[in-house]
Chains A and B, each alone.
Chain A
């Protein structure tokens, strides 16, 4: 074996037993071992050669010094923000691109570049881009919700009509719920948007989802927080979901996000907005952006031990949202540790792991036991929404037992229609 001194970007010639190859040395991911080298041939194909097989090698031309894989953030455009829509970028694949040569993820485009890539956006509304953070959606924390809420507030103060937030999809519905509570009566639509296929591929849903989000943010009279994503398999219809009634229900499909227990607020077909309803009233815009992350979401399962609740209470958790079975039940041996937690001042709220429908603790004995222990039934509030809400309630010094079961932003629906399907 030769001593090989290649760096990504170098143009090299490599000789093996029967052949000789020429190409660019490519960076390797951390999952690819050091025993091979990746070469990009002139025709664009990458090949992997074992270092053991290399008989001779030479560098034809040194490449540029490889850049680090650290993400670079494009700063806000000159501090001057203007236009109808502010696009806030938080990370995720939707408003990001991959530098294949260095492997670095660049999390933002300039508004000019984005408008060039998706010409429809410019025809819908004028817009600016602000790159707020570059965080994969699984790494978003409640403190990030605070930051986003404040940025939305600034945008409305600066005169934008609507705000579109590019977000990774895994936790987008948590962020949507959190912002729904943090931003009471926003002056215009706040629309979260993501993509299930990364924007570096021709089939990405990023462009059509962004078009839908822009259309809604720029022309709907609704005030509130929403999610814009594909409504089906096709690229011709985008659904607008209410931020507190939406859930990611599929790992990979474009239409992973579904409204639960209500219809989407609107659809965008092509460039046409079809609204089912107008959300939000005339109230004053109030921003309460704080979140206290001492809350937990716990899914009940057969065999669950009471000590889990004791552990959470001892850890200082102040609010526990339970995803109970069916109408909101847990096994009877959990009632004692829950009662003890409530006695120590911890809030216990009950939601259902069934996703569709409402909890009802009056039907069975276990439910009535939970009620008398002080567990608060949360109606048909989605468990993820309940979690975000409890963090917001704690963070803003509100009374959990009083506020949690109330319908503040549409998170609790009193009526559920037969005609709303579970799909």
Chain B
């Protein structure tokens, strides 16, 4: 079996005060909001060649919409003002990070422009700089090599994608990221995942990085045998890493096999000669407006476009994704026919028109002439690549661990210097002084258990959680049992997320803690209040009202206890305790803290 090599790239948002090249954000700013629309065009890189990924994307010719709000972005993010000099706080953090891995820190930092014309960067490029090269990370007694540590700006946040094109919010654009690229390793997928976890924990303990969902993202580079590297972008959750690796392994091994099958079938590059043809009339179905149907012969591919070894890992799906990327609604291929109003008779006519032989497949694309032909030529290029196994490309990780085609893998020609930003010199003193004693994970867990009286599991969960900083903040603010706060931020958060209710809202969580701290609600009500508030978009107060949880006073409680005790007249006090407690709790659950009820019941019973 072929060797699998996996390279991890970890991107962490820095919690610096400002973005990498401007003074955003500003919490004091107004609410002003502006929308605007841009078109990006590919340009030649520094060495004069057009980057394949950029060129590929340019063919799409999409229009991009942006939203800018005063508090989170300024003229710099809108590409209406040159970038300011490199944020020194961010550079300091990157140098500290480099020192953690004994990476060789560069003497000068040169900011580069990396062409990205999917619209996620208004300028059409992402600004990025190598801060350090080399170094190592210790994992389970082995040393994993570090390739590079880069400082780069985060991309704009995609808020929707319509037929007209994508729409981005500029709030995230320009937030500093540290990218740590590890040398490819030959490890089991589970080991790669736990290595990533261990690395993430080490970095989290430095306190230099932001926390919360999306503040840490992994790219996973997978290659099988001698094949090109497939870069899988946007793995948001650690738990998905091993799934992504296994998926890619399965998918790429199938592509290796596919190349072998094509070879056996005697398919070679010259079989791909012949242009896509207009088959609108052959098809005989009415198409709207300028739309025509075009067909491309896929020599020797019969039966191979629909075959899959992992879910949705069909070549046919990749072809459809490429076409979607170029603005089409997918393709029809002969492996799935007859269907889509194309019957056997029509298939025979197509075969005759396209000179389809036994063992061949074909692909049909509907659209305007020029665009459709250009797209079919890209598909033909992809089919030809199948002769050589899995191609080097960039794919996107899906939530279930599968991957989808995103774009061809960009080459080095997409890099050119950012001439608007002066080179920053890093002195030997800076290299020495910007360093940090890193904390040991096990030791930190132990300290946490002791300090907050938490179980090991709860301590680990809260340390791993996106809400760790809310926990420490709540501990400073309130005198509440740490386990209740930790449980809310871990178990309750996970439960609500699994219910599809998304992330906890900071304001609601702290309002609930506030009420809990005052004894106005019981801890039993926390999950219920947060659930209703997320589900129905209610404020905490509204949620409490909806749940009928408006708190009750101690006097009211005493009245209820007396009422219930009346019903148990004549029962032994010790026996009555359990029943009384149960009945009272039934009436006051969530409205007042259970420990107060317990105290009052015992007092009433004199036990």
Residues of A within 8 A of B (CB): 16-19, 21, 31-33, 36, 38, 40-50, 53, 97-101, 117-118, 197, 199-204, 207-208, 232-236, 251-254
Contact = CB atoms under 8 A, between A and B. Distances in A.
Contacts of A21: 133
Contact of A235 (B38, B117, B148): B38
Given A202-B125, A252-B75, A101 B104 contact: no
Interface stretch (B42-50, B260-268, B573-581): B42-50
A48 B423 contact: yes
Interface of B: 34, 36-48, 54, 63, 75, 78-82, 102, 104, 106-110, 112-115, 117, 122-125, 128-130, 133-134, 148, 150, 411-417, 419, 422-423, 425
Nearest to A36: B108
A265 to B, nearest CB: 23
22 contacts: A17-B104, A18-B104, A19-B133, A19-B134, A31-B423, A36-B107, A44-B411, A45-B112, A45-B150, A46-B110, A48-B110, A48-B423, A50-B107, A100-B46, A200-B44, A203-B124, A233-B34, A233-B78, A234-B37, A236-B63, A252-B75, A252-B80
A349 B413 CA distance: 55
A48 B106 contact: yes
A323 B430 CA distance: 50
A43 B104 contact: no
Given A47-B130, A50-B107, A100-B47, A202 B42 contact: yes
B81 A252 contact: yes
A202 B417 CA distance: 14
A253 to B, nearest CB: 5
Contacts of B419: 98
A252 B82 contact: yes
Contacts of A32: 108, 423
Given A53-B107, A100-B46, A254-B80, A44 B38 contact: no
A230 to B, nearest CB: 10
Contacts of A97: 44
B34 A16 contact: no
A58 B18 CA distance: 41
Given A32-B423, A47-B130, A253 B80 contact: yes
A206 to B, nearest CB: 9
A203 B79 contact: yes
B312 to A, nearest CB: 31
Nearest to B58: A202
Contacts of B39: 207-208, 235
A41 B148 CA distance: 12
Nearest to B114: A44
A201 B40 CA distance: 9
B122 A203 contact: yes
A94 to B, nearest CB: 13
B46 A253 contact: no
A46 to B, nearest CB: 4
B123 A234 contact: no
Chain A CB within 10 A, most for which of B47, B108, B112, B129: B108
Given A47-B106, A47-B133, A202-B54, A234 B36 contact: yes
Given A97-B44, A202-B41, A203-B123, 7 more contacts: A44-B112, A45-B148, A118-B41, A200-B43, A207-B39, A233-B34, A252-B80
B32 to A, nearest CB: 13
Given A202-B54, A202-B125, A252-B81, A207 B36 contact: no
A187 B14 CA distance: 60
Which of B114, B123, B150 has the most A CB atoms < 10 Å from its CB? B123
Contact of B108 (A17, A49, A199): A49
B108 A101 contact: no
A48 B40 contact: no
B41 A46 contact: no
Given A18-B134, A31-B422, A234-B37, A46 B417 contact: yes
Given A100-B417, A201-B123, A232 B108 contact: no
Contacts of A197: 79, 123
B128 to A, nearest CB: 8
B40 A203 contact: yes
B315 to A, nearest CB: 29
B37 A48 contact: no
A44 B122 CA distance: 21
A236 B54 CA distance: 22
Contact of B38 (A41, A234, A253): A234
Contact of B43 (A40, A50, A202, A234): A202
B412 A42 contact: yes
Contacts of A19: 104, 133-134
A44 B54 CA distance: 15
Nearest to A48: B108
A45 B108 CA distance: 12
A182 B48 CA distance: 40
A40 B44 CA distance: 17
Contact of A44 (B36, B106, B117, B413): B413
A256 to B, nearest CB: 9
Nearest to B411: A44
Contacts of A45: 110, 112, 128-130, 148, 150, 415
Nearest to A208: B39
B41 A253 contact: no
A236 B37 contact: yes
A101 B112 CA distance: 14
Given A202-B123, A234-B38, A252-B82, A46 B112 contact: yes
Given A202-B40, A202-B41, A203-B122, A49 B417 contact: no
Nearest to B131: A47
A292 B299 CA distance: 74
A44 B124 contact: no
A236 B63 CA distance: 10
